[in-house]
A and B are shown apart, each in its own frame.
Chain A
Amino acid sequence: MIGAVVATFLTATVEWVEAYTILLAVALSIGWRRAAGAGLAAMAALGVLTAAGTVALAHAGNLLFLQFLVGFFLILFGVRWLGKAIARQAGLKKLHDEAAEFAALRARAEIFDPRAAWVIAFNGVLLEGLEVWLIVVALGVQTHHTLAAACAALAAAALVLAAGFFARGPLANVPENTIKFTVGCGILALGTFWVLEALGYQWPVGEFSILVLFCFNVAGGLAVARSYKMRLA
């Protein structure tokens, strides 16, 4: 349960920081009340999706198939995040810059049209939140702690809002790449474990293998990033 809660909290923190940048840019054009309305509408949609996803998956008859499905989604998600984090660490890709993202959003003409700006805020929060939804549903259903995972995601949202309130600007100092790298390694470890177990593989050291897989991903990811960096230099 702790692993699921920590992974959800970290994933949600990264995604909510990006969503907050969008909300802030929109709020400066159409006001906080409307921007918050768009954000809350997106959060409500995510809540409905979470409930629907949890109920649908919880009623899946074949538990091994469910485990495979959840594991496969985690692999899809984890390998993408790890790949991105390696690219950014190696210098192959620019680090995500919230201040630049904020400036780019403010430069868009549509942001001054109240209706278009509302849609930008709604879509932004919804799309950033989809990854949080995926993690909450996948980890929650598989570990039977969906409520705890959802609370971790909401706690991350509260933390980001509080930090945004004090920063009064985009949250540019969040170590996003480090979080993405760590979460990518963890999610990939869980996905690998569950997929192979669902296919009938007996892990030699049981659930302790998840920790071994996590350490392998961290060491391997750092080694790959270092080798790419050396090649670039």
Chain B
Amino acid sequence: MRGFLKTLFGDARNVCVAVICVGVAGLLLRTPLAAAAGLVLPVALLGGAAYLARH
């Protein structure tokens, strides 16, 4: 079961990276800076991948 969940969701860091990045983009879409979401999410996810690479 643990292997199943880890395969589907990854570890806690992986889930946090995805939730934070998508959460920030979602919040941004509700502000006047909504147009920036298309730039912020890819950059945030690349930063997340860079973080995961080191941890």
Contacting residues, chain B, for A221 (C-beta < 8 A): 46, 49
Interface size on B, residues (CB 8 A): 30
Contact A83 B52 (CB under 8 A): yes
**Of B9, B38, B53, most A-chain CB atoms within 10 Å:** B53
Query: Contacts A80-B14, A188-B45, A217-B46; is A199 near B25 (CB within 8 Å)?
Result: yes
Contacting residues, chain B, for A32 (C-beta < 8 A): none
Interface residue from B3, B21, B25, B54 paired with A228 (Cβ < 8 Å): B54
Residue of chain B at shortest CB distance from A231: B54
Contacting residues, chain B, for A199 (C-beta < 8 A): 25-26, 29, 37
Question: Is A61 close to B, CB under 8 A?
Answer: no
Interface 9-residue window, one of A4-12, A71-79, A144-152: A71-79
Query: Contacts A199-B25, A199-B29, A200-B29; is A79 near B45 (CB within 8 Å)?
Result: yes
- Scoring A residues 87 to 102 as 1 if CB is less than 8 Å from chain B, else 0, what string do you get? 1001011000000000
Contacting residues, chain A, for B31 (C-beta < 8 A): none
Question: Is A65 close to B, CB under 8 A?
Answer: no
**A interface with B by C-beta (< 8 Å):** 72-73, 75-80, 82-84, 86-87, 90, 92-93, 123, 127, 130-131, 134, 184, 188, 192, 195-196, 199-201, 203-204, 209, 213, 216-217, 220-221, 224-225, 228
- List 22 interface pairs A-B (beta carbons < 8 Å), by A numbering: A76-B14, A77-B10, A80-B10, A80-B52, A82-B49, A83-B52, A87-B54, A123-B3, A127-B7, A130-B7, A134-B7, A192-B42, A196-B37, A201-B34, A201-B37, A201-B38, A213-B42, A217-B46, A220-B42, A224-B49, A224-B53, A228-B53
